[in-house]
Chain A
Amino acid sequence: MIHALSLLLCLAGFAALACATQRQQDELFDRSLPRRTTIWLRAAGAGFLLLALAALLAWRGWGLGLVMYSGYTSLAAGLVFCALLVHKRRRARPHRQGCS
């Protein structure tokens, strides 16, 4: 249960942080988000990641908790990266077909 919750929190955290970067905003929304929204996204991303850390530390203590946290953050960052990649490829496909 805590395993799933930690992964979800890390996914939410990295998704928010990704949306806060200029390049992803351009690619996802075709424009820059307002500065205020970007700051909120960054804060939410950091908040989700800290919540995941707190959950794992409370559950398994510093030793195991930190090991698991390292694993979940790496995995979640990779999954968000792959999701963005798939999204971008889907968006690019009609354009590419149109060109060819």
Chain B
Amino acid sequence: MKPGNSIRRDATPGLRQSMSSLHTWVALLLGWVLYAMFLTGTVSYFREEISQWMRPELAPQVHAPDLALAAQRVADELKTMVPDSPQWSLMLPDARSNSVYAFWRTKRGPGGRFEDGRFDPATGKAIDARDTLGGDFFYRFHFQFYYLPIVWGRLLAGLAAMFMLVAIISGIITHKKIFIDFFTFRWGKGQRSWLDAHNALSVFGLPFHLMITYTGLVTLMALYMPWGQQLAIHTPTERQQLRAELSAFLQPDKATGQAHALASIEDMVRQAQARWGSGNIATVTVTNPNDAASRVSISRGEEGRVSMSPQYLLFEGSSGKLLETHDHVGPAAETRGVLYALHLGRFSDTATRWLYFLVSLAGTAMVGTGLVLWTVKRRQKLPDPDRPYFGLRLVEKLNIASIAGLSIAMAAFLWGNRLLPVGLPDRASSEIQVFFVVWATALVHAMLRPSKAAWVEQLWTATALLALLPVLNALTTSRPLWHSLANGDWVFAGMDLTCWALAALHAVLAVRTARHTRRVRPAVAKSESRRAAADPAPGEA
């Protein structure tokens, strides 16, 4: 498209121009939040692998454990560890996870709270590994942030996702030559090049970007739009029916007070395995474990089905008798289940998981290039590009800290995992503090340094932290790259090699930023600025 071809001469802005403005401002307003959500969400596709890497004491999983035996072992352990608990749940290991995650209510009644832990599937004992949140930190940050009340964090995430949806739709309307310009990239043309890159990153992954944004809203729709549910669901029975459509998680019924030992969990899991396959069991939930009224639900994993809808068997805990089989939900619940599953991608095999990761990374870059484009476009039009006004300077500084600074903070979180003393009290929180302190430092650095220098320095810092992470891993654990490659330890090898790939990406960005020189002369900029102010070209947002 030749600039100026579609310039409108009338005073009222056309649809495209309106959409362009909407796209620009909606995307900018929460762009930094969206960038952080996108990047932490992207790495969360490898949440289990990151968690394994952050607990190097746990041996790599060579063969998937026998789930029935693992469940029985951890159940036995919990019986002695938390005998008064009215409810506990086990998330069984799979090909990507080498521990059993369990959480339990400490006691019945208002004083009861939830605690959790990880257990060795081979022994049933609590695992002896460093205290860390692992990949769960990025996963939780992705939709509820940190240091914020959970509900407020999730509401902010929902608002950002809604802004993203508006930005995507307005962006599609603004970009009128999607097919003609599909492969177009004009090198070295400043704003035009940034726009081409932003378009390419947006258009190639467009089905994914639309899907991930919409399904992100669906995952928390009951929080964002609770009114339909409030009107339709009144009685405890209705609430129970709703819960059964959404989750295999059981709420404890009233206990009888009559003690009764729990029947064999192993046998119950075996029945579920016979139905869904030996490795395809997700959770075991037990309510009132030592009471005659105990119930056990065992749910199907997500392998091979694009749906998170609960499918589970309900057993009488005292006898092990199968009471109910839930193998389907209603059409509305199934729609939610499919959309939910599409967002999380837990059904993926390794190749599909990498596809999710790469296209999501393109989505992150889409947000990043959009943020940078906002500043490039405006700086180019300044009478003196070296003296930007306050708003432009602020956006630039926030861009640096939220793009380059986030890479540094995320890498620093992994460095913290290796360097903080293993016996440090409240160690998991300390790792997270490292992340936020480093991120805040990046913001201060961006504020204090000239923009170009700040970009280059932070990109090089991220490069160094990522490139040296495999070295640090080799020095601080017994699983260096040569060892993990030789032994087929793909979690560790994959982390090390991915860090180097990301380090290379940051290095390229650092070199290109350092080499960049602005080509626009103030005189040209002045005339362009006047022309743009009089009649801004559409589609250049």
A binding-site residues for B, Cβ under 8 Å: 3, 17-18, 21-24, 63-64, 67-68, 70-75, 77-78, 80-81, 84-85, 88-89, 92
A4 and chain B: residue at smallest CB distance: B351
B183–A71 contact, CB under 8 A?
Answer: no
A sample of 8 inter-chain contacts (CB < 8 A) reads A21-B180, A23-B181, A64-B306, A68-B352, A70-B211, A74-B362, A78-B200, A78-B205
Q: Which residues of B contact A64 (CB under 8 A)?
A: 304, 306, 347, 352
Q: Is B305 an interface residue (CB 8 A)?
A: yes
A92–B187 contact, CB under 8 A?
Answer: yes
Complex CA–CA separation, A24 to B351 (angstroms)? 31
Q: Which residues of B contact A23 (CB under 8 A)?
A: 180-181, 183-184
B180–A75 contact, CB under 8 A?
Answer: no
B352–A70 contact, CB under 8 A?
Answer: no
B211 CB → nearest A CB, Å: 8
Complex CA–CA separation, A87 to B184 (angstroms)? 13
Which of B13-21, B25-33, B236-244, B353-361 makes up part of the contact surface? B353-361
- Excluding A64-B347, A71-B359, 8 further A-B contacts by CB distance (< 8 Å) are A23-B180, A23-B181, A63-B338, A63-B347, A73-B207, A75-B358, A85-B187, A92-B187
Residue from A21, A22, A70, A88 with most neighbouring chain B CB atoms (10 Å) = A70
Interface of A is mostly: helix
Residue from A17, A22, A71, A78 with most neighbouring chain B CB atoms (10 Å) = A71
Q: Is B103 an interface residue (CB 8 A)?
A: no
Query: With A24-B183, A78-B362 known to touch, is A72 a contact of B355 (CB < 8 Å)?
Result: yes
B209 and chain A: residue at smallest CB distance: A74
A70–B200 contact, CB under 8 A?
Answer: no
Q: Is B389 an interface residue (CB 8 A)?
A: no
Number of residues from B at the complex interface, CB < 8 A: 30
Complex CA–CA separation, A73 to B211 (angstroms)? 15
B491 CB → nearest A CB, Å: 20
B306–A71 contact, CB under 8 A?
Answer: no
A90 CB → nearest B CB, Å: 12
Query: With A3-B351, A64-B306, A71-B352 known to touch, is A78 a contact of B187 (CB < 8 Å)?
Result: no
B187–A81 contact, CB under 8 A?
Answer: no
Q: Is B214 an interface residue (CB 8 A)?
A: no
B102 CB → nearest A CB, Å: 30
Contact of B356 among A17, A71, A78, A88 (CB under 8 A): A71
B307 and chain A: residue at smallest CB distance: A63
Query: With A21-B183, A84-B183 known to touch, is A77 a contact of B305 (CB < 8 Å)?
Result: no
B338 and chain A: residue at smallest CB distance: A63
Query: With A88-B187, A92-B187 known to touch, is A71 a contact of B180 (CB < 8 Å)?
Result: no
Q: Which residues of B contact A68 (CB under 8 A)?
A: 351-352, 355
Q: Which residues of A contact B182 (CB under 8 A)?
A: 17-18, 21, 77
B binding-site residues for A, Cβ under 8 Å: 180-185, 187, 200, 203-205, 207-208, 211, 304-307, 338, 342, 345, 347-348, 351-352, 355-356, 358-359, 362
Query: With A75-B355, A81-B200 known to touch, is A70 a contact of B185 (CB < 8 Å)?
Result: no
Residue from B180, B305, B351, B356 with most neighbouring chain A CB atoms (10 Å) = B351
Q: Which residues of A contact B362 (CB under 8 A)?
A: 74, 78
Q: Which residues of B contact A81 (CB under 8 A)?
A: 183, 185, 200, 204
Complex CA–CA separation, A22 to B179 (angstroms)? 11
A78–B352 contact, CB under 8 A?
Answer: no
Query: With A23-B184, A85-B187 known to touch, is A70 a contact of B347 (CB < 8 Å)?
Result: no
Complex CA–CA separation, A5 to B348 (angstroms)? 18
Q: Which residues of A contact B187 (CB under 8 A)?
A: 85, 88-89, 92
Q: Which residues of A contact B180 (CB under 8 A)?
A: 21-23
A89 and chain B: residue at smallest CB distance: B187
A18–B183 contact, CB under 8 A?
Answer: yes
Complex CA–CA separation, A84 to B200 (angstroms)? 13
B185–A85 contact, CB under 8 A?
Answer: yes
A30 CB → nearest B CB, Å: 17
A97 CB → nearest B CB, Å: 15
A70 and chain B: residue at smallest CB distance: B207
Q: Which residues of A contact B205 (CB under 8 A)?
A: 74, 78
A36 CB → nearest B CB, Å: 20
A70–B208 contact, CB under 8 A?
Answer: yes
Q: Which residues of B contact A84 (CB under 8 A)?
A: 183, 185
Ordered nearest first, which 9 A-B pairs have the shortest CB separation? A71-B355, A63-B306, A77-B204, A74-B205, A18-B183, A3-B351, A74-B359, A70-B207, A78-B204
Complex CA–CA separation, A17 to B181 (angstroms)? 12
A88 and chain B: residue at smallest CB distance: B187
Complex CA–CA separation, A22 to B338 (angstroms)? 40
A69 and chain B: residue at smallest CB distance: B207
Q: Which residues of B contact A88 (CB under 8 A)?
A: 185, 187
B342–A67 contact, CB under 8 A?
Answer: yes
B359 and chain A: residue at smallest CB distance: A74
Q: Which residues of B contact A22 (CB under 8 A)?
A: 180
A67–B352 contact, CB under 8 A?
Answer: yes
B200 and chain A: residue at smallest CB distance: A81
B306–A67 contact, CB under 8 A?
Answer: yes
B4 CB → nearest A CB, Å: 18
Complex CA–CA separation, A60 to B304 (angstroms)? 8
Complex CA–CA separation, A53 to B362 (angstroms)? 22
A99 CB → nearest B CB, Å: 13
B337 CB → nearest A CB, Å: 11
Contact of A74 among B207, B304, B306 (CB under 8 A): B207
B210 CB → nearest A CB, Å: 10
B505 CB → nearest A CB, Å: 13
Q: Which residues of A contact B359 (CB under 8 A)?
A: 70-71, 74-75
Complex CA–CA separation, A67 to B342 (angstroms)? 8
Complex CA–CA separation, A39 to B182 (angstroms)? 17
Complex CA–CA separation, A74 to B348 (angstroms)? 17
Complex CA–CA separation, A84 to B204 (angstroms)? 15
